[in-house]
Amino acid sequence: MYMRPESLENVRTHYCAGCGHGIIHKLLAECLDELEIRQNTILVAPVGCAVLAYKYINVDGLEAAHGRAPAVATGLKRARPENIVISYQGDGDLLAIGAGETLHTANRGENLTVIFVNNAIYGMTGGQMAPTTLEGQKTLTSPYGRNAAEVGFPIRACEMLDTLEAPAYIERTSVHNPGAVRKTKKAIRKALEYQISGAGYSFVEVLSMCPTNWGVDPVTGASWVKDAMIPWFPLKKFRDRPAENAEKEAS
């Protein structure tokens, strides 16, 4: 029998059928329960479809202006280092308006965790092109398909952050099938464990479905992650540096 994690509120979410956000919320809630950090965690919600994440995940929460979640999380963590601080963000939030905050928070090696939900589109506002929209992908603002010659190629966040010295943990996972969901949970748990141990900045990118704005049914949405997204955004652990290794490197 399915047991709802204590860290997940017993409420109906506003997410569409087949959306990845609900799955990722549940995985995060399970990790918070297992690590017994629910009472100690502060979640920074983004502007995007997960804007109400603090209503669904039973922890203290704060809303950040669009793209500013890592800056808000930085302030929180520096003021309250005893708390576990999580910045939960979509691709528009994290890589468009918030690209600067993302880069510099990672570069400073802030001891916090970023969960990056990459669904290759602006979900909340009705399906505009995001920095991660694939080449040729049709959106409201790229009706003939993304043209890299005009607007650039889709940005790979993990690869970009992996060029920086400071981050402790960087992994890209997905939630398009049960095996991938299990790996995502492991990655989120590890990221939180690294924050608990003081290892530094941890970043988990999760490839996620937005069937509503992709104009497909939920099953086709999951297949599209596998067939279209993963070839451009390979699932991979990019960085894995526990606290003890960071100390060794520093000495």
- Residue from 26, 77, 91, 194 that binds Mg ion (CB under 5 A)? 91
- Residue from 58, 137, 195, 212 that binds ligand SF4 (CB under 6 A)? 212
Shortest distance (Å) from residue 17 CB to ligand SF4: 8
Q: Which of 94, 93, 86 is nearest to 111 (CA)?
A: 86
Adjacent-strand bridge partners of 173: 206
Q: Which does 19 bind (CB under 5 to 8 A by kind): ligand SF4, ligand TPP, Mg ion, none?
A: ligand SF4
Round to whole Å and give the CA distance between 72 and 28: 20
Adjacent-strand bridge partners of 63: 45
Q: Which residues contact 144 (CB under 8 A, 6 or more apart)?
A: 138
Q: At CB < 8 A and 24+ separation, what contacts does 228-232 make? A: 228/134, 228/137, 229/118, 229/120, 229/134, 229/174, 230/174, 232/134, 232/135, 232/154, 232/156
Shortest distance (Å) from residue 216 CB to ligand SF4: 10
Counting contacts by CB under 6 A, is residue 15 touching ligand SF4?
yes
Q: Between 20 and 167, name the residue whose CB sits nearer to ligand TPP.
A: 20
Q: Which does 15 bind (CB under 5 to 8 A by kind): Mg ion, ligand SF4, ligand TPP, none?
A: ligand SF4
Residues that bind ligand SF4 (CB under 6 A): 15-16, 19, 21, 49, 119, 123-124, 210-213
Residues that bind Mg ion (CB under 5 A): 90-91, 119, 123
